[in-house]
Amino acid sequence: MIFHRGDVAVARNTVHVGISAADLFATRPQRLRDRYSPYRMLPYLSKVRNACFDGRYRGDADVVIASGHSAAGDYGLAQRAIVFADWPLVDQVAMKPDRGHSARQIFPGLRIESGSGFFDTRLVRDTIPAGSRIIERDGAAVGFYNDRFCIFPAATAEQDRDPAWLHRLYLQMANHWGLAGAAPPEEAGNVFGSDTGEIVLDRQQGLFTVVADERHPEALCLDQSTTTAGDGRKRR
């Protein structure tokens, strides 16, 4: 009833999960249950929608996050985008590996090189757009972000050391981009707060709280209408 009556406000941010044609048909053994899935945390924070597209994303979300099901998809028209690829293949038949494909669609001059260890995709530093902040792991440039994009092709390599890596990355970018309801990255994986500031799920304390303004006093009554029962009596 809290939600049906409108006691809490509508989410301030709209976040799309980008699903390219290759993402849709990628031969993944799992989907929503994958550890990298944005659906594991986004619905607690903001309004979430799927955004299916053929080659280029053309939505108007505040942020679009790649689904990670493949490395295909051009997010160059997005207001803001977080681009990564858990599955390095770019075609529907899973024959062409190229984890940096989406990144080069946005920044054609960007050069990718193979790396060792968990981060198998690294960026050539002098091809990263000027003014960007570089994401480094073990001395290598593995990603970067600026006022519109976070490019981190092999980001899912983080999940072995940080199960809440995507939540943390999203909070870091939300703070950098000044999005409504941006929370401290240190809360990732433990505290899930809506971007209205009204709803908080605290996993550490096992506590779900809703604190909202009393905007609609009339909503405190469940149903003000009356109906006539079969016996002729009016029933509220």
Residue from 73, 118, 104, 71 nearest 90 by CA: 71
pLDDT at 29: 53
Judged against a pLDDT cut of 50, whether residue 229 lies above it is answered with: no
Q: Which of 20-34, 80-94, 188-202 has the highest mean pLDDT?
A: 188-202
Contact 154, 84 (CB under 8 A): yes
**Interatomic CA distance for residues 216 and 6, integer angstroms:** 8
What is the residue-wise DSSP string for 41-68?
THHHHSEEEEEEESSB-----SEEEE-S
Judged against a pLDDT cut of 70, whether residue 31 lies above it is answered with: no
Give the lowest-confidence range in 47-56, 143-152, 217-226. 217-226
pLDDT at 34: 65
Domain ranges of the chain: 14-219
Instruction: Report, in angstroms and rounded to the nearest whole number, the Rg of the chain calculated over CA atoms.
Output: 21
Contact 13, 180 (CB under 8 A): yes
pLDDT single digits (tens) 118-150: 788 999 999 999 999 999 998 999 999 999 999
Average pLDDT over residues 88-112: 89
**Interatomic CA distance for residues 221 and 32, integer angstroms:** 38
Say what the pTM is. Answer: 0.85
Question: Residue 234: beta bridge partners?
Answer: 228
pLDDT at 230: 47
pLDDT at 214: 67
Structure tokens at 99: 């984890």
Percent of the chain with pLDDT over 70: 86
pLDDT at 193: 96
DSSP state of 12: S
pLDDT at 5: 84
Helix H, strand E, coil C: the string for 107-154 is CCCCCEEECCCCCCEEECHHHCCCCCEEEEECCEEEEEECCCEEECCC
**Interatomic CA distance for residues 224 and 13, integer angstroms:** 32
